[in-house]
C-alpha cells in the first residue's frame, strides 16, 4: 500500500531542490522550444529526472512516463498499456508561466496501473500546497477531506475554459460567458493549479479541449474522489489512452449536463438551467 504522504514529500523535495531555485532565475539558454510555442526549461528536465528516480526507488517495480521523456521518445507512451504500475509525471505544469516568471505552475503525478489511475498528486511549489487522492479513498489536502460544493447556481460559478468546443462550436470560454451562464472564467494557464483550486472549492468547473495524461490523469481522479462529475465532454468516461477529447468537470451531474448543453448547443434559444439542484 502506497503512503500518499511519502510521495507528497518526494514531490516537495524535488520542487525545493530543482524547481523553485530556477524560478525567475532562468537564463535564455535554459529555455527552449520542443516545438513551436511549446516551451521546456532546465527545471522541467531536471525535475523529471530527479522525481522519476525518487519515485521508482520508493516503489520498486514501477516505471516512469514523463512529459519530457515522451517528447524525446513517443514510444514511452506504450508503458501506459502495460500491466505494471507507471508514474505519469508533469514535472513543471504551466511551463510557459514558469519560463516567464508568472506564479502559476505545479507538479503533477499520477500512478497508473493497466491504464487505470490509482492515485494522483497535485503540488503548488510556491504555495506549498499538495492535494492528493487514492482511488476509493477520497481527495485530501493535508488532513482535510475535500468535497466539492453541490448547491451553487451556475450563474455564481467561477472556473476555467480552454480551447474550442469540438465540431466548430466556438471558444468554450466565450460560449459560457456570452449569456451570463457562469460568473467568470479564470484561466491560470496551468492545469495543476486549476485542479487544486477546483478540489479546494475555490473554483467550480473546468473545460479543456485536450486530455493529455500528464495534464489530467491525477486531477480527474482527485475531482472524482471529491465528488465532482468529471468526464469527457461527449459523455464518455475518462480513458488515459485518449489524448485529444474535450473534458468537462462540474460539481454535480445536473450542473455538468447544463454546462454541456451550453457548450454543445450554442445556437439554441433555450436558456441553460441556472441551478445545479
Q: So what's the pLDDT on residue 266?
A: 61
165 by DSSP, 3-state: which?
strand
Q: What is the CATH number of the domain that holds 29?
A: 3.30.540.10
Q: Is the distance from CB of 196 to CB of 206 less than 8 angstroms?
A: no
Query: Is 173 domain-assigned?
Result: yes
Q: Are residues 86 and 104 both part of a single domain? A: yes
Task: Render pLDDT for 32-65 as a digit per residue (tens, 0 to 9).
Answer: 999 888 999 999 999 999 999 999 999 999 999 9
pTM of the complete model: 0.93
Q: Which domain holds residue 251?
A: 154-264
* Statement to judge: residues 129 and 26 lie in one domain: yes
CB atoms within 10 A of CB 136: 7
Whether residue 18 is found in the same domain as residue 67: yes
What residue ranges of the chain have pLDDT lower than 70? Answer: 168, 266-277
Q: Which residues contact 85 (CB under 8 A, 6 or more apart)?
A: 59, 61, 62, 63, 111, 112, 113, 118
Same domain, 104 and 167: no
Cell numbers given for 42: 532546465
Beta bridge partners of 87: 64, 111
Q: Is residue 73 part of a domain?
A: yes
| Structural domain count, the chain | 2
Is 270 domain-assigned?
no
CATH number, position 189: 3.40.190.80
CB 23 within 8 A of CB 46: no
Question: What's the rounded Cα separation, in Å, for the pair 263 and 98?
Answer: 31
Sort 12 into a burial class: Cβ within 10 Å, 0-12 / 13-18 / 19+.
Answer: middle
Give the C-alpha separation, 198 to 126, whole Å: 18
CA 136, CA 118: separation in Å to the nearest integer?
9
Residue 272 within any structural domain of the chain: no
pLDDT tens sequence across 56-110: 999 999 999 999 999 999 999 999 999 999 999 999 999 999 999 999 999 999 9
Is residue 276 one of the residues assigned to a domain?
no
Amino acid at each position: 500500500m502506497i503512503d500518499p504522504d511519502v510521495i507528497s514529500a518526494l514531490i516537495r523535495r524535488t520542487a525545493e531542490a530543482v524547481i523553485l531555485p530556477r524560478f525567475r532565475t532562468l537564463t535564455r539558454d535554459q529555455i527552449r522550444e520542443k516545438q513551436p510555442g511549446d516551451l521546456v526549461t532546465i527545471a522541467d528536465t531536471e525535475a523529471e529526472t530527479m522525481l522519476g528516480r525518487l519515485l521508482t526507488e520508493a516503489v520498486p517495480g514501477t516505471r516512469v512516463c514523463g512529459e519530457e521523456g515522451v517528447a524525446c521518445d513517443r514510444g514511452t507512451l506504450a508503458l501506459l498499456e502495460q500491466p505494471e504500475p507507471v508514474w505519469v509525471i508533469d514535472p513543471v505544469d504551466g511551463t510557459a508561466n514558469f519560463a516567464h516568471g508568472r506564479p502559476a505552475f505545479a507538479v503533477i503525478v499520477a500512478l497508473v496501473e493497466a491504464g487505470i489511475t490509482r492515485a494522483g498528486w497535485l503540488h503548488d511549489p510556491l504555495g506549498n500546497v499538495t492535494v492528493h487522492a487514492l482511488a476509493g479513498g477520497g481527495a485530501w489536502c493535508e488532513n482535510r477531506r475535500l468535497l466539492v460544493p453541490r448547491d451553487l447556481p451556475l450563474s455564481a460559478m467561477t472556473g476555467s475554459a480552454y480551447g474550442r468546443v469540438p465540431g466548430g462550436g466556438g471558444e468554450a470560454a466565450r460560449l459560457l460567458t456570452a449569456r451570463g451562464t457562469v460568473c467568470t472564467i479564470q484561466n491560470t494557464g496551468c492545469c495543476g493549479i486549476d485542479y487544486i483550486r477546483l478540489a479546494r472549492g475555490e473554483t467550480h468547473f473546468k473545460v479543456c479541449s485536450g486530455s493529455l495524461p500528464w495534464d489530467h490523469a491525477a486531477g480527474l481522479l482527485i475531482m472524482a474522489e471529491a465528488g465532482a462529475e468529471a468526464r469527457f465532454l461527449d459523455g464518455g468516461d475518462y480513458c488515459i489512452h485518449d489524448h485529444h477529447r474535450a473534458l468537462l468537470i462540474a460539481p454535480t451531474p445536473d450542473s455538468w449536463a447544463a454546462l454541456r448543453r451550453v457548450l454543445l448547443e450554442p445556437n439554441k434559444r433555450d436558456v441553460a438551467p441556472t441551478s445545479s439542484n
